[in-house]
Chains A and B, each alone.
Chain A
Amino acid sequence: MRGNEAIAEGAIRAGCRFYAGYPITPQNELFEYMAKRLPQAGGIFLQCESEVAGINMIWGAACTGTRAMTSSSGPGISLMSEGLTTLAAGQLPCVVVDVTRAGPGLGRIAPAQSDYRQVTKGGGHGDYRAIVLGPASTQEMAELVALAFHLGDLYRNPVIILMDGMLGQMMEPVDFDLVKPLPVPDKPWALRGKGDGPRKMIYAAPFDDPGLIQLNQELTEKYRQIEEREQRWEEILLDGAKLVVLAFGSAARVALDAVQVARAEGLPVGMIRPITLWPFPQKGLAKLRQTAKAFLDVEMNAGQMQEDLERVVGPDFPIYHLGQGGGKIIYPDEVYEEITRLFQIADCGLRI
């Protein structure tokens, strides 16, 4: 199954019953899979007139308590920014999939990870956060899309799944039976008409003082709880590792090969793979300050996640970067060469 299809099937199995999307490469298979399968599952598929309309349809669907999703790529995600910050302000759950293409601007459809900063730091205006998950395999896509709907409902917050063109097109077997079913909470806040009861309102603009100040305090506290409870990462060969490779998504798949080969050759290198990109896995990384001598950040961008690593380990800790945006795919040989090179140079304290 293709990655884009695994996300779509996983979403339907996780209870997604509303999807609004607009064609953009490289996410079209996800959109088309939804067009075919979602109505069969009793859900609503809508081809919207723009990503701007799409994210606002998601607002409407989320208001009725429906599990709702949209997907796009960088330019479309940029168009959704106002909607995303508003969903965060209105505390409405939804899932947004970004199958990243190379930017900046219109860019091109080749794989890149250059939307990392946009999705983990906001994109839209105001003090808000979206939970961001970064799968690295087709099986993990099926698992993380279920987790995305769960976390979205639990915290009443938008959740973004950050993919890229390579992950979206990659074909791998998926066993949906391995995906843990997660409980769907009651949504007493949802709008379905008040009936004989009190009316309900969902809005993102409490104009009257101190409404917006209180909302900001409430959101800040919620984001603190998410940072405390929801950091997820994978540790690979970290025992005794002096050099730690940091990579997510498809870059992590590539880097893993290189790390395994180098380790088999006796180099003390390990790897840490963030699964939640926000909250960033600070807990997993902070403890490596004691054991590691240097980090190698491998990303298909100019080093966006590296900024988060610097914040955790401090500005003086040696960090090297490999990779760039624009559609340049990283190969395992390049990562392997960089690992061996770093063990040869004196100033990173790795020379054996």
Chain B
Amino acid sequence: MKKIFGRPDSLTDFPYPYCSGCGHGIVQRLVGEAMDDLGIVGRAIGVTSAGCSVRNWKQFACDMTMGLHGRGPAVATGLKRTAPECIIFTYQGDGDLAAIGTGEIVHAAARCERITVIYVNNAVFGATGGQQAPTTLLGQKTTSFPGGRDPRTGGYPLRMAEMLAGVSPESFIARVSIHDVKHINQAAKAIRRSFEVQLNDEGFALVECLSMCPTQWKVSPLDAVKWIEKNMIPYYPLGEFTTPKGN
């Protein structure tokens, strides 16, 4: 019998610890599929970050290490510069990358470090209980701004992909969503491309993945899918913001 569907070899069989309807499982699977397709699991080193995805070193089947909260791109820089033959990726949430880690991601992008950043944006601090993230939408209610995000007290949501595209001339920077099959297929292509850019030494690569967090959005998994379409995509437009020159 021909096997037509299974777990990517680049993922372990360690169970996902995520809530029902969480998007992390989909994004991790897409990363695993990209590593399988490109045959790079043997020379990949992943960097986890603080947040819900902190334990995904158990789920990726390649060499793994960790970054302190927000420091993944600095760790990845140290790895890539001393082991240029390896394929280095970070896996960071929006609290990690867009709040405490803004310094590291901006300068890694500006140096056009040959690393791949998988950036999962679910518009909230998930692991710590649903506080406002830099990416929380205006009016969105969180535990730290129970009346909803007001720009006068809580600032405006950060569009990281656009911001980083502005500082990284040699780069592939895209925003995708994983809320339905069509968009998952587009996301798969972008994630694969983000590893190819590193393999071909074309530049820095970052894919921002809009992702569901039904638990902290206080909606059902199905409504979370609609929530992305209705609330997130209008503020966070999908597409490629930079592509390496010559392509």
Contact = CB atoms under 8 A, between A and B. Distances in A.
Contacts of A199: 61-64
A191 interface: yes
A128 B125 CA distance: 29
A226 to B, nearest CB: 24
A62 B82 CA distance: 9
Interface residues of A, number: 40
B83 A191 contact: yes
Given A49-B104, A63-B78, A203 B65 contact: yes
Contacts of A57: 74-75, 77-78, 81
Nearest to B40: A193
A53 B68 contact: no
Contacts of A66: 82
A193 B43 contact: yes
Interface-centre pick from B54, B63, B75 (highest chain A CB count, 10 A): B63
Contacts of A54: 74
Contacts of A60: 47, 65, 74-82
Chain B interface residue bracket vs A: 35 or more
A195 B74 contact: no
Interface in B72-103: 74-83, 85-87, 103
Interface in B97-147: 103-104, 106-107
B54 A192 contact: no
A314 B65 CA distance: 44
Contacts of B86: 64, 191-193
B68 A203 contact: no
A265 to B, nearest CB: 55
Interface string A62-104: 1110101000000000000011001000100000000000000
B55 interface: yes
Interface in A176-225: 191-196, 199-205, 207
B67 interface: yes
A131 B74 CA distance: 24
Contacts of B55: 207
B66 A53 contact: no
B204 interface: no
A57 B88 CA distance: 13
B42 interface: yes
Contacts of B78: 18, 20, 56-64, 68
Contacts of B236: none
Contacts of A302: none
A64 B83 contact: yes
Nearest to B60: A199
Contacts of B67: 56, 59
Contacts of B41: 194
Interface in B28-45: 41-45
A118 interface: no
B74 A53 contact: yes
B65 A191 contact: yes
Contacts of A191: 45, 63-65, 79, 83, 86
B57 interface: yes
A195 B43 contact: yes
A136 to B, nearest CB: 32
A52 interface: yes
B64 A201 contact: yes
B74 A48 contact: yes
A192 B86 CA distance: 7
Contacts of A86: 68
A150 interface: no
B71 interface: yes
Contacts of B85: 192-193
A194 B65 CA distance: 13
A186 to B, nearest CB: 16
Given A49-B107, A193-B63, A203-B57, A56 B82 contact: no
Given A61-B81, A64-B79, A56 B65 contact: no
Contacts of B107: 48-49, 53
12 contacts: A46-B77, A52-B104, A58-B78, A60-B47, A60-B74, A63-B45, A191-B65, A194-B41, A201-B63, A202-B66, A203-B57, A203-B64
Interface of A: 17-18, 20, 44, 46, 48-50, 52-54, 56-64, 66, 68, 82-83, 86, 90, 191-196, 199-205, 207
Given A63-B79, A201-B65, 12 more contacts: A48-B74, A52-B71, A57-B75, A60-B78, A61-B81, A191-B45, A193-B45, A193-B86, A199-B63, A200-B63, A202-B64, A202-B65
Q: Which 3 A-B pairs have the closest CB atoms?
A: A60-B78, A193-B43, A56-B74
